[in-house]
Amino acid sequence: MRQENRTVLSEVDVNVPSVARMYDYYLGGKDNYAVDRAAVAELDKVVPSTKPLAINNRRFLQRVVRVLAEDYGVRQFLDHGSGLPTQDNVHQVAQGIDPKSRVVYVDDDPIVLAHGRALLQEDDRTVVIQADMRRTDQIFANEEVQRLIDLSQPVAALFVSVMHCIPDPGPEELVKQITERLPSGSFVVINQLVSENKETRDFVTNFMDESTQGHWGRVREPHEVERYFDGLEVLEPGLGRINHWRQESELALKEPDTGDWYEFGGVARVP
């Protein structure tokens, strides 16, 4: 392992669960620790549908990237809160359509930075930067972002399953900050955990906030997520459960049920 990656990994706190590492465990990854697996076990006792929810979310991300690249010609992707690398990442899907596609992953978890760098050493069209996704000015000032992202051309800004990590009123402000910077014809992809069941919302919010020592926002209601899209042109089929978004077959619609909490969102164009 390169020295810079060893330095980054030395910053990882293995005593506090990480949302990125918990998600990695749900997807069958190996970049997680005992504390993450213990948190998953406790969460599953009350909401056992979390693993299929993570799977649905990953499939949505892959469909979105493919549709934006194939049908809308997007060649630039800015993935906020990207998490740990797994199979069929954004750059793999996008570059499978056009090898010249450029991708920037943004995450504030040091283990994401270390593993991302190791994965992408030979790919000069894809980078991982360590930054708080709410720091839009800092992200766009980054040299690697400026090298790869051309703001005279459409960009797809991805916020896939991350807005529930942001306290109020952060999500709405973040969407405004990013859309003000993106050129017309760009796209914003947003989904987050929601529930109409107050007991579920409160339990998951409190559990994750305590487990991650404050690195969490809250589970919200669908109508709250709809406000993120104010002023944007929502693409068909509109906003809703993400496992219904542009599925390619009736069989695919039978993705795992996630009970009374699910990922809600969609894709919108910047006017």
Series of mean pLDDT values for 10-residue runs along the chain (271 residues): 44 72 79 85 78 86 97 98 77 96 90 70 86 95 97 98 91 96 98 93 87 86 97 97 82 55 95 97
pLDDT at 158 (0 to 100): 98
Q: Which amino acid is at 235?
A: L
Distance CA 249, CA 160 (A): 22
Look at residues 154, 161, 153 and name the one whose alpha carbon lies nearest to residue 62. Answer: 161
- What angle (nearest 5°) sits at the alpha carbon of residue 214, between those of residues 210 and 217? 100
Q: For residue 52, count CB atoms less than 10 angstroms from its CB and return exposed for 0-12, middle for 13-18, buried for 19 or more.
A: middle
Q: How many angstroms separate the CA atoms of 209 and 218, rounded?
A: 8
Strands 262-269 and 76-80 come out as: unpaired
Please give the pLDDT value at position 79: 96
Enumerate residues 6+ apart whose C-beta is below 8 A from 252: none
What six digits make up the tokens of 15? 């005593």
Class of the domain covering 3-269: alpha beta
Q: Torsions phi, psi of 219, nearest 5?
A: -75, 135
pLDDT at 13 (0 to 100): 64
pLDDT of residue 1: 42
- In this structure, the strands spanning 126-130 and 156-160 are unpaired
User: What is the Cα–Cα distance from 59 to 153, expressed in whole angstroms?
Assistant: 26
pLDDT recorded at residue 253: 46
Measuring CA to CA, how many Å separate 61 from each of 77, 88, 267?
Answer: 12, 10, 11
Burial 77-106 (b: 16+ CB within 10 A, else e): bbbbbbbbbeeebbbbbbbebeeebbbbbb
Report yes or no on whether pTM surpasses 0.95.
no
Query: 174: how many CB neighbours lie within 10 A of its CB?
Result: 22
